[in-house]
Amino acid sequence: MEYDFLIVGSGLSGSTLAERLSHKYKKILLIDKRSHLGGNVYDEYDKNNVLIHKYGPHIFHTNSKEVFDYLSNFTEWIKYEHKVVSFVDNKFVPIPVNRNTLNLIFNEHLKTDEETSIYLDKLKKNIKIIKSAKDVVLSKIGKELYKKLFEGYTKKQWGINPEKLSPEITKRIPIRINCDDRYFSDLYQYMPKDGYTAMIKKMLSNKKIKILLNTDFRNLDKKITYKNLIYTGPIDYFFNYKYGKLNYRSIYFEFESYNKNHYQNYPVINYPDEKINYTRITEFKYLTGQKINKTTIVKEYPQSKGDEYYPILTAEDKKIYEKYKKEALKLKNTYFVGRLAEFKYYNMDQAVAAALSLSKKILAMEV
CATH code (residue 106): 1.10.3110
Residues 145, 25, single domain; the answer is no
Number of domains making up the chain: 3
> Residue 31 belongs to a domain with what CATH number?
3.40.50.720
Same domain, 218 and 367: yes
Which pLDDT does position 170 carry in this prediction?
A: 86
Confidence at residue 293, expressed as pLDDT on a 0 to 100 scale: 95
Residue 235 lies in a domain: yes
210, 198, 238, 249: which is closest to 71 by C-alpha?
A: 198
- Output the pLDDT for position 367: 58
- pLDDT, the chain, mean: 96
pLDDT tens string 234-272? 999 999 999 999 999 999 999 999 999 999 999 999 999
Give residue 187's pLDDT band: very low, low, confident or very high (50, 70, 90): very high
Query: Phi/psi zone of residue 142: left (φ > 0), alpha (ψ -120 to 50 degrees), beta?
Result: left
The answer to whether residues 297 and 319 belong to one domain is no
74 and 217 co-located in one domain:
no
| 208 plus 64 within the same structural domain | no
Q: Which residues of 260-270 are buried (b: 16+ CB within 10 A; e: fewer)?
A: eeebeebbbbb
How far is the C-alpha of 143 from the C-alpha of 131, rounded, in Å? 16
Containing structural domain, residue 136? 95-171
Confidence of residue 80 (pLDDT cuts 50, 70, 90): very high
Strands 310-311 and 61-62: unpaired
Spell out where the chain has E strands: 2-8, 28-31, 43-45, 51-53, 61-62, 77-79, 84-88, 91-95, 188-192, 209-212, 225-231, 248-258, 268-270, 280-283, 295-303, 310-311, 334-336
In a domain, 176, yes or no: no
Q: What is the b/e burial string over 97-134, where b = at least 16 CB atoms within 10 angstroms of the residue's CB? A: bbbbbbbbbeeeebeeeeebeebbeebeeeeeeeebbb
C-beta of residue 93 within 8 angstroms of C-beta of residue 99: no
Res 67: pLDDT: 98
Strand 268-270 vs strand 43-45: parallel, antiparallel, or unpaired? unpaired
pLDDT, position 10: 98
Q: Are residues 263 and 212 in the same domain?
A: no
The reply to whether 138 and 121 lie within a common domain is: yes
The reply to whether 242 and 134 lie within a common domain is no
Same domain for 70 and 46: yes
In this structure, is residue 337 part of a structural domain? Answer: yes
Residues 336, 328 contacting (CB under 8 angstroms): yes
Residue 119 lies inside a defined structural domain of this protein: yes
Last residue of a domain, one of 303, 327, 342: 303
Same domain, 78 and 121: no
pLDDT at 7: 98
Q: Which residue has the higher pLDDT, 315 or 146?
A: 146
List the alpha helices (DSSP H) in 261-314. 284-288
Q: Which of 52-56, 166-170, 302-306 has the highest mean pLDDT?
A: 52-56
Indicate whether 171 pLDDT > 90: no
Query: How much is the pLDDT for 4?
Result: 97
Quick check: is 90 in a domain? no
Residue 260 lies in a domain: yes
275 and 243 in a common domain: no
Flag whether 60 is in a domain. Answer: yes
Do 325 and 285 lie in one domain? The reply is no
